[in-house]
Structure 1
Amino acid sequence: MVSWKGLFSWDGRDRHHLHDEIQALLPTRRDDVPPSAIPAKEVTKVALRLKYQIEQVIPCELPEDRVEQAHSPIITQCVIDTAKEAGGKENSACVVYCLLVVKKWFKLQAVKELWDADLHNVRALACEIIAKHLIETEEDMDYLMEDVLLKRYSIVIDNEDTVPANAIERAVDLHALHVIGSSGYQKCIGYLWRGWLVQDDDDSARFVHYNNKGNTNYWVHCDPDRMRVPMYQNAVQVLVSVIYLALYTGAINTINPTGDVDVIEVLLYVFTFGFICDELAKLWKVGRYYIGFWNVFNSTLYAILTVSFVTRMIALAHPLDTKERRHYNELSYNFLAFSAPLFWGRLLLYLDNFRFFGAMLVVLKVMMRESAIFFILLFVICVGFLQAFIGLDQVDNNLTAVGFISKAMLNAIMTSPDFDGFENFGHPFGLILYYIYTFVIMVILLNILIALYNSAYEDITDNATDEYMALFAQKTMQFVRAPDENVFIAPFNLIELFFLILPLEWWMNSKTYARLNDHIMAFIYAPLLLFTAGLETRAAHRVKTNVKRGAEDDDVIEEWEQMESSIDFEGDGWAKKVESTKPNVEFDTATKEIIELREEVRALKDLVEMLVERKVNGNDKGNGKDDS
């Protein structure tokens, strides 16, 4: 069961317009959050300086491609250097975080000032671009990850400090793809995913390097605390989901005519109860912001399985070989079979580590959001036509065809209209109305839905790589943002709930209770810990080798790097030859020619000035001789 220590709540002022800021990330109460690393007033001052700078750099509406291109004439190196100085030497670590805050401000301003929405959106994009440059140009990776990206900062709103957050979280909340796609950000996410960066046990506001990542001792890595690593939690969830699906497959393919519950069904319902408890715990801690597409999807599955279980218990309450027992037993299996598509669709939630499935899940989520427009229009139109058809049916004070009307209207939505029978609805009004309804649904609304889906698909697939990295970062932060001192993943949360929390936690000494939790986790996750310890030991050998040769911990020698050290490009003259022939990609051809022309004009100007000066000096000397 998830413990919510160290999570971050979402400020209610921002919830109205920025839907990307309330993704499935887990907030918590303010009193559980560590304080800001820098006083909130100082962070706010830095953010205001950056906002002023962006407003001056982009004073009018500009095309977005001029801002985000590689060598932008707008976001120049001077602009980036100035932004870096906004926090001074003492507060420079919060500049990236402040740029993301300013991006949020511009996004809010774009919603409130629609007449300048494009201008504010370009300014918000500029904040991302500058933040990306600052991340990618930082050479000290430890400083970048520990101070710039993972330290938590607050700002002041309504004379109160907001809940601290770090740049990693803020970028995910704001769906800042340019920042998420930067190399330093992805390196930090990779370290968090592998558990090489962990929260400090003494100070939960700090992230520190895992001390034993270079330790080649196998048993050191058999530590139950390593189950907090996102990669391992995800692996357990995938494994549990596969077992859950296998239990369902076994239960649905071994029907008990007598209605008795076998071992497979017991395990299936125990797993379901564990998932339900986990969802309720998260909903209670997070609130309504936890509700999303996959939560509703899973909750629907659990609700159907709960109904199946209840009907099975009702069947068992009746005597054997009775009609009621057979009826409720069949009804239970019908509900169980009805949930099969949801069971298999649930697997998609755990396949988002693969790039293809990750991008498609983003497309699906955006499509569901875009289709809200279609369903609102559909609801209004259907209610209007339904009322008209019912009115035509009860003209003779005899309402008899509500079922037929509803079925015919649903068939039209499914592109299979049924025109038979509408001649009797106040001829010719009923038939004319149904023709109009069919035209509106099949020609107008369905084409609107197709256009919305096509637009969502193009938007995501055109930027599929960044969208996948954003999804992976969000998945990582779900685990990191919800660090659990005692990781009991459903259905193991039932062990924690009924055998630890309820009977022991309220009276047992905290150290003894923590030690007991470690022993139980070590027993539960023993097979996985033995496997992960082997993986970590293997990785430790690679880290140790990299440290010896002065490389990064996660560095891998690629095939093109194996002989690179044996070649001297300077010595054989190849570097000089390449330098003389390489193009200048910072400027296009016209700009380079103008620069060359300017240099020539400047040289010509200097030459003319020198000649004029000589002539003047010669005249002065001649005049001096005449005077004498």
Structure 2
Amino acid sequence: MPARTSRMTLGRLLGLSRENNRARDWFFEDSGNLLPHHRHHELNPSIPPLEVTKIALRLRHLIEECVPCELEESLITQAHSRVITREVVLAAKEAGGEEYRSCVVFALLVCSRWFKRQAHLELWDATLHNVRSTACEVIAKAIIEGEEDMSYLLHTVLLHRFSILVNGKPTPPANAVEKAVDLHALRVICSSGYQKCLQYLWRGWLVQDEDDPTVFVDYRGRDDQRYIVHLDPDRLRAPVYQNIARLLFSFIYLALYTMSINSVNPNGEFDAAEILLFLFTLGFICDEFTKFWKAGYHILSFWSAFNGVLYAVLTVSFVCRMIGLSYPIGHELRHSYDSLSYNFLAFAAPMFWIRLLLYLDSFRFFGAMLVVLKVMMKESIIFFALLAVMVVGFLQAFIGLDLAEDLKTDEIWFIIQAMANSVMQSPEFDGFEKFAPPFGILLYYVFTFIVMVILLNILIALYGSAYSDIYENADDEYMALFAQKTMEFVRAPDENVYIAPFNLVEIGVIVLFSWWLPKRQYEFVNDVVMAILYSPLLLIAAYFESRKAGEIRRNRSRGEDDDDTVEEWEQIEDQIDFEAEGWTKRCAAVKANVETDPAVIEVRKLMDEVAELKLMIAELKKGMDGANGKKKDDVKKGSEGDGEDS
């Protein structure tokens, strides 16, 4: 949705005039900014999609020349690669020239996607294309980490949106941050510059421009130490505060459920906890439908399906309770429906607790664990596909045996239960001894052997492989998960951040005011409502932001980045001079050369010695030639003297 056209701080809501606020903001901003600021959409020139496509094609040709055949991936990714050298990185940076160099990282990610698609289409060269895709990510990471101008990197390289031409039409604009998340480009995501950009987005230090939401600008109040400036409902658009709010609402949701399930009402009436529980559920359901309406089926994931099941169970529980209330107190059907409602409510307890993991993934421990579980679930698709084929085949065989025996299928539930027990490693052979002997028991033995010995061991092997792959790369996978979570908050900004279940309040505000109030007054109403709803969170957030502003000012006075922190080993660095002490020279003398292979170093030494030896031989030969020439001259002179004497 379009970004807001005006921002209203709580100071304005309390009655301060716009002119006073503007003059005061100008004074503090002019006196407080210790570093120059620029309008970043002036630094972000629009690059035509045709030019971006040409740059991507140049980079593709460069990668194909540098990686002409199948190579070990370690040769591409090692610290001082002999394939992706500094010269290759420099050539990649020059692919866009001076005018279009800002889109090189984006174009490299486009090339990476092209190579991955080509690997899928050309399986006979899949290894080669995958290595080339990795080379694109390695070069992109090198360019990001080699950029010294942080403002240019954040606003122009990573967050500026570009398009390419596909079938003669430009693609939807995207930036390098989004592209890396979509491609799961771990090496780019784990680069230092990318992570700094992500942290700025997460904290709300980089926000969408009010006039153009596709452009990111610096949050102007970042270094403002005034408490009231940070009492702005728009600050809730920062991912960190949205995540905190969702986590708090999840704990409240769980507390309401605990109170509801532990206080069963014998007459079936709703108490306060149950009313709030079902209101929360309604808000979450509306939130899921809103996401689907805005983003389409792309938003669907494992958690969407999981939440859908949970909300469906709670909806059934609510419907049963309402049906029960339609009968008088003491009626048997009322008691029956009330019991059924509480049974469904109790059935949802495990899902309520598992749901917390969805909002705890911003913590490193839970995030890495969820990545492992996600990969395991993906790997288990192979097992369930094979299991489904086996179950359908053997189920048809058992039903056929039952029909052949007495012309009716009265053992269908027994067959399904026995097959399910076999899958759960608890087979029951007793019932099949008299089931169309000897075919029934033989088929059940075969089914049990296939499921328990073959398929389950395949599943265990897949889980073990997935765990080992992710565990070795757990930190990178966690950073990728964190990047994806940040992009979920940033990609589709809402005009007014009403986090479920407060989205029910938003529906009421829209119904009551949106159709008759002018836009400016309608936005003012939303600011007032949001300031009231989120006042506890806003008060706490403003306190921490005003304290952080002091740290930012101190960092800027030292010429450091806004997020810089002084660690223990940095506290007395200004009191020691390694150069004057001679320690720098000593360290340079003893350090090993890690950029060059030891064998290459020895060969170079040998080449130097051979060159020195050749020089010595040349000088020796020259000396010998000179001595021989002098001797010949002496002999010649002697012979001439003898002739004159004679």
TM-score range, shorter chain: over 0.9
| Matched position secondary structure for 2:245 | helix
Matches within 5 A, 1:88-487: 88-395=97-404, 396-487=406-497
| Matched position secondary structure for 1:571 | helix
1:229-254 Cα distance to aligned partner (Å, 9 max, x none): 00000000000000000000010011
- Runs of 5+ in structure 2 lacking a partner? 5-43, 641-646
1:76 matched to 2:85: yes
| Matched position secondary structure for 1:151 | coil
Q: Is the 8 A contact 2:3 2:208 kept in 1?
A: no
Q: Is the 8 A contact 2:2 2:495 kept in 1?
A: no
Query: Which of residues 493, 499, 517 is equivalent to 1:489?
Result: 499
Distance 1:434 1:37 in 2: 68
Q: Is the 8 A contact 2:287 2:500 kept in 1?
A: yes
C-alpha displacement of 1:407: 0.5
Match of 1:41 in 2: 50
Q: Is the 8 A contact 2:204 2:219 kept in 1?
A: yes
Distance 2:564 2:136 in 1: 30
Larger RCO (alpha carbons 8 Å, 6+ apart): 1
Match of 1:551 in 2: 560
1:478-509 Cα distance to aligned partner (Å, 9 max, x none): 11112122100001111111x22233223432
Match of 1:18 in 2: none
C-alpha displacement of 1:202: 2.1
Amino acid aligned to 1:57:
C
Matches within 5 A, 1:577-596: 577-596=586-605
Q: Is the 8 A contact 2:3 2:211 kept in 1?
A: no
Match of 2:512 in 1: 503
Amino acid aligned to 1:113:
E
Q: Is the 8 A contact 1:4 1:285 kept in 2?
A: no
Distance 1:37 1:313 in 2: 58
1:293-343 Cα distance to aligned partner (Å, 9 max, x none): 000011110000000001100000111110110010000000000000000
- RMSD in angstroms over aligned alpha carbons? 1.9
Distance 1:409 1:313 in 2: 38
| Matched position secondary structure for 1:208 | strand
| Matched position secondary structure for 2:207 | strand
1:147-180 Cα distance to aligned partner (Å, 9 max, x none): 1111011000000000111111111111111111
Distance 1:542 1:559 in 2: 17
Amino acid aligned to 1:388:
A
Q: How many residues align?
A: 597
C-alpha displacement of 1:609: 4.3
Q: Is the 8 A contact 2:372 2:470 kept in 1?
A: yes
- Runs of 5+ in structure 1 lacking a partner? 7-34
| Matched position secondary structure for 1:375 | helix
Q: Is the 8 A contact 1:49 1:86 kept in 2?
A: yes
C-alpha displacement of 1:285: 1.7
Q: Is the 8 A contact 1:274 1:494 kept in 2?
A: yes
Amino acid aligned to 1:65:
S
Query: Which of residues 525, 537, 547 is equivalent to 1:528?
Result: 537
Q: Is the 8 A contact 2:395 2:416 kept in 1?
A: yes
C-alpha displacement of 1:345: 0.2
The sequence identity of aligned pairs, in percent, is: 58
| CA pair 102-217 structure 1, distance change in 2 beyond 3 A | same
Distance 1:588 1:245 in 2: 58
Q: Is the 8 A contact 1:36 1:152 kept in 2?
A: no
C-alpha displacement of 1:107: 0.2
Q: Is the 8 A contact 1:150 1:167 kept in 2?
A: yes
Query: Which of residues 43, 60, 64 is equivalent to 2:73?
Result: 64
Q: Is the 8 A contact 2:225 2:549 kept in 1?
A: yes
C-alpha displacement of 1:540: 0.4
Distance 1:114 1:38 in 2: 35
C-alpha displacement of 1:605: 3.2
| CA pair 159-324 structure 1, distance change in 2 beyond 3 A | same
Match of 1:10 in 2: none
Match of 1:542 in 2: 551
| Matched position secondary structure for 1:198 | strand
Bigger Rg over Cα: 2
C-alpha displacement of 1:102: 0.4
| CA pair 479-239 structure 1, distance change in 2 beyond 3 A | same
Moved over 6 A (4+): 614-628
Amino acid aligned to 2:426:
S
1:569 matched to 2:578: yes
Match of 1:517 in 2: 526
Distance 2:246 2:298 in 1: 22
Amino acid aligned to 1:306:
T
Q: Is the 8 A contact 1:370 1:453 kept in 2?
A: yes
Q: Is the 8 A contact 1:66 1:72 kept in 2?
A: yes
Distance 2:401 2:390 in 1: 17
C-alpha displacement of 1:420: 0.7
Distance 1:40 1:534 in 2: 44
Distance 2:427 2:379 in 1: 25
Amino acid aligned to 1:520:
V
Query: Which of residues 27, 32, 54 is equivalent to 2:63?
Result: 54
1:331-364 Cα distance to aligned partner (Å, 9 max, x none): 0000000000000000001111221110110111
| CA pair 606-206 structure 1, distance change in 2 beyond 3 A | farther
Distance 2:46 2:161 in 1: 6
Distance 1:290 1:419 in 2: 45
Distance 2:293 2:106 in 1: 29
Amino acid aligned to 2:220:
N
Match of 1:27 in 2: none
C-alpha displacement of 1:287: 1.4
| CA pair 44-615 structure 1, distance change in 2 beyond 3 A | farther
